[in-house]
Every structure is written in C-alpha cells, then in structure tokens.
Amino acid sequence: MGDSYSDEYSPIAAGLYNWVELLVAGGRADFGPFATFPSGDPRNTGGAGSYTYNYAKGGATTSSALGSTTFLPTVNNNNSQPGSPNRPDIWPGIRGAGTSAAIQYASQEIGGNDMLDQIINRQKLLLGLDSGTMNPILSRFEQITNIATANYTSPLKMVLVEYPDLGSMPVFGGLQQINKDSIRLNMTYFNNSVAALAAVHGLATVDLFSLWDNLRNSNGTTIHGIYISPGTSGGGLADLRSAWLSDGLHPTPIFQAMWANAFIGALNATYGESIAALSPKEMVTLTGLDPQQAPIANAGGAYAIAAHNALALNASASTDPNVGDVPFLQYSWDINGDGIFGDATGAQPDLSWAQLHTLGIGVTTTYRVAVRVDDTFGGITTSLPVDLKVAALPGDLNLDADVDVSDIQVVAGHWLTNDAVADANGDGSVDISDVQTIAAHWTAGGGGGAAVSVPEPPTVTLVLAAGLAWAMSCAARWRSGGKS
C-alpha cells in the first residue's frame, strides 16, 4: 500500500529504480508485463501503467489492496485520464492476483508517505513542541488488523515489511532528539507487531528497520568498490551514492537494491527458497550507479632480455573504470605475436627460457607482446602490442639462441680469417680465443648433457722457415656435463 517504495520509478525518472524493478531487471522476479493502460499511480501518470502484479498506490487501504478479487475497474479512482477509463490489466488486490494466476510470492508494506503524512499531521511534533506519542502511526494498526484478517490462501508466500526508523531518516534530521526517540520507539512497536503477526500466520518479514540501522551505524557501506553514504543525494540524479534521495525519505536505487536482497533473503529464510541475491556488481550496474565499462589493458614493456634468461612481464598498469572490477581482472598474454593468447596468464607472469623456447622465441625476431584483460563481467580489452627483443649471447655465432657446438663449427669454418661472422670476441680475427668465448657462454645446447663430437678439427699451418713446415692439429672433445 502506498506509492512511495513499491511503485515503479522508471517511467517518470530514467535512472531511478526501486526494489521491484531491480528484481525484475536482475531476473529474480516477474511481476508480469507492464500494463498498457496509463496508471493512476502517482509515479506513472503520464506513461504506461504498473506491472500487472504490482499494485502500489497512495491512499490504498488494506481492504482494497488485499481484498479485491477483480480487476481495477471496481476500485479505479483515476478515470479522468483520456483513453483509460479503466485499468483492466492491473490487479489491484493480492487476493485477486494470487488466485487468478500462478503468483508465488507477495509482499505488503505501508509506504513511507503514509507514515510521513501521519507525522506531518502532528504539527506539534514538527515544531518540536511535543515529545510525541505516535498515535497516528499506531492507528495504522488498523491496517495490520486487516492483514491479519486477510485471506492468505496457500500457496501464496507472503512477505510483510518491517519499516525503517523514520526518526533517523535524513528527512527528520532537524527534529529534537526526544522526538526522534519517540518516533523510533513507536516504529519499533509497529514493527514488532508486524513481526508477531507474521509469526502467527507463518509469513516472512523483511527487516528494513535493521537494514537501515546497520547502514547508518556503520556509516555507510561499500558495494563493488563504491562507497554508499547513509545520507542524502546531492539532489537530482547526479549523485546517488547515498542511501536516500534528496528528499531524505525515499531510498536511492542502490539502497533499493539492498532492500531487494533483503526480500530475497526473507523468502529464502522463511520459505526455503534458493533465490540468488543480487551480486554487488549487479547492484551497481542495474541501478546505473556504475555502468559496466571495459578494462584498460597495458602490456608494460617494452621488454628486452638476453637469451637463456627469464622474462618478467608486467601488466599491472592495466585497470578498469569500474573500480570494483579491478580485483576480478584476468590476464592472458600473446608473447610470440602469433595472435593467439594464452601463452601466459596473470598480471605479472615470469617465463623461464624453457617456456619461451617452447613458444618459439628466438634471437632474430622482434616479437609483439600483447595482453588481453578480461574484467569477467563482459568487458575484454586487448592492449597495444609492445616489443620483445631477445639479445643473442656472446658466442652465438649462428644466432640460434644457443651457444654450442654449432657455433664452434662456425669458428672452424672461418679459422684464422678475419671474418666477422665467426669472430665471437670481436677482436678482428678468428682464432682459439673465439672458441674460448664460446666456451665461456656455453649453453649446453639448450638441453645439455649429451656428449657432442666435433667434426674434423681445424688444421693450422704454421710457416716457420723457408722449406720447413709442420702440421699442427688441435682437437677439442666435448663431454657430458662440461668441456675439456
């Protein structure tokens, strides 16, 4: 009953959603199609109607909202709208809706305006002149009596609402504390009565009183990285990172999302349902508080290593405009530049030379490294590529990334020449010192261990004097595990 907290917001203010709409948007509930006839509800007078099975109307009474078993013509008080003399597509009463369709759940609440009106009528209370018994609010027990006598026929699973403490809502921030205390006392009494009623009938209650108390006492909360204050929004729709709209009375969409989860929790707890709560990500996305955006991917680098060294990649400069997504970011790398990702995972993976070798990384190519960042909420971004260069080790004359016998063979093929291709130590000549350079950087062929045999050793001719010549040969035998 009452328009304040259950009537659909969105037709009059794009970006505002209440808990009913959020449950629909999150696929957790179905209130039927949107009625095609303009609604007499306060919020959608200019547009389409309410959901077929959501009747929230200022001035409703328990007898009309609970008891009606027919469509709206019998209770419609909004016949003045052109073209909509009736609202034949909205159920006004829970009983009617529940018995006419496969309705599983229903909730009943007294809207904030109904409470507020009663308090405003207490002029002395607003003026701070009255410590304020809350007889007007207590008079709402007339409605509780109606709830008690309403015919809750199985299988309808009903949720009654324990109301937030009006006295601690921002709208009453100016009241004297004694009046706030009085309101709180009476709200507690009201809620206790609701809870007792629910217990008698085996119904669920959703405890919005505690929900608001907890949010206020903990000075707000953080939902998916976004701080939600217990105060009011700055006005309009510009800042909804608070519990209340600028009127200090109506919950913001994100607070409504918390209410939506409270309803889910109540159904699960009382009726053994297993409805999934809205996730924090859903809460900030469905409310429009933090629309989903793709990550920003940064592959780090450029990268330069020497052959046979490990490579430390670093994508930690990546981020996500949705702050709450950052802890969820997943990284996949294309290191060898073949366009296929999955070469490594993680924000800062270290790759051994053996792993790089498996990926075909060598010393003659500049590779284009990219990282693909997935926020796991549908946003995937591939970074710009950065260079990876692998420097050849000294002695790797044939540039196959290893320093081994094949490089010795290069030296042998250019023995005692000045050929730069075989001048491992860069001293201008090809001789035994180049073999020593190769030996000093020996990489055991990338696997090592096996004995290797050198083909015919180089033959060196030394001319000592006219007419005399010796032939000198030098052989090196390479053994497993070392060299000699």
- Taking contact as CB under 5 A, which single stretch among the options 220-228, 403-411, 446-454, 472-480 is the one that binds Ca ion? 403-411
| Per CB under 5 A, 355 contacts Ca ion | no
CB-CB contact of 261 with 24 (8 Å): no
398 binds Ca ion (CB under 5 A): yes
CA distance 447 to 402: 10
Q: Which of 3, 282, 290, 423 binds Ca ion (CB under 5 A)?
A: 423
x/- site string to Ca ion, residues 276 to 315, per CB under 5 A?
Answer: -----------------x----------------------
Which one of 379, 383, 411, 415 is in contact with Ca ion (CB under 5 A)?
A: 379
The residue range among 103-111, 157-165, 376-384, 467-475 that interacts with Ca ion, by the rule CB under 5 A, is: 376-384
Give the residue, chosen from 8, 25, 375, 412, that forms a contact with Ca ion under the rule CB under 5 A. Answer: 375
Residue 272 or 428 with smaller CB distance to Ca ion: 428
Report the residue number, 185 or 380, with the smaller CB distance to Ca ion: 380
Sequence-separated (6 or more) residues with CB below 8 Å from residue 313: 299, 300, 301, 303, 333, 335, 344, 348, 349, 350, 351, 369, 371
Query: Interface with Ca ion includes 76 (CB under 5 A)?
Result: no
Residue of 347, 341, 224, 335 whose CA lies nearest to 279: 224
Chain centre distance of CA 301: 28
Q: Is 26 in the site for Ca ion (CB under 5 A)?
A: no
Sequential DSSP letters for 31-99: --SBPSSPP-STT-TTS---BTT----TT--HHHHHH--S-GGGT---TTSTT-S--TTS---HHHHHH
Q: Is the Cβ–Cβ distance between 223 and 241 less than 8 Å?
A: no
Compare residues 68 and 318 and give the one whose CB is closer to Ca ion: 318
Rule CB under 5 A: is residue 443 a binding residue for Ca ion? no
Contact in structure between 446 and 452 (CB atoms under 8 Å): no
Which whole-number Å values give the CA distances from 389 to 356, 363, 436, 441, in the listed order? 12, 7, 26, 19
Question: Is 427 among the residues that bind Ca ion (CB under 5 A)?
Answer: yes
Q: What is the rounded distance in angstroms from the CA atom of residue 45 to the CA atom of residue 107?
A: 23
Question: Does residue 396 bind Ca ion (CB under 5 A)?
Answer: yes
Query: Which range, of 28-36, 279-287, 325-333, 382-390, touches Ca ion by CB under 5 A?
Result: 325-333
* Under rule CB under 5 A, residue 336 binds Ca ion: yes
Q: Which residues bind Ca ion (CB under 5 A)?
A: 293, 320, 322, 325, 334, 336, 338, 340, 343, 375, 379, 396, 398, 400, 402, 407, 423, 425, 427, 434
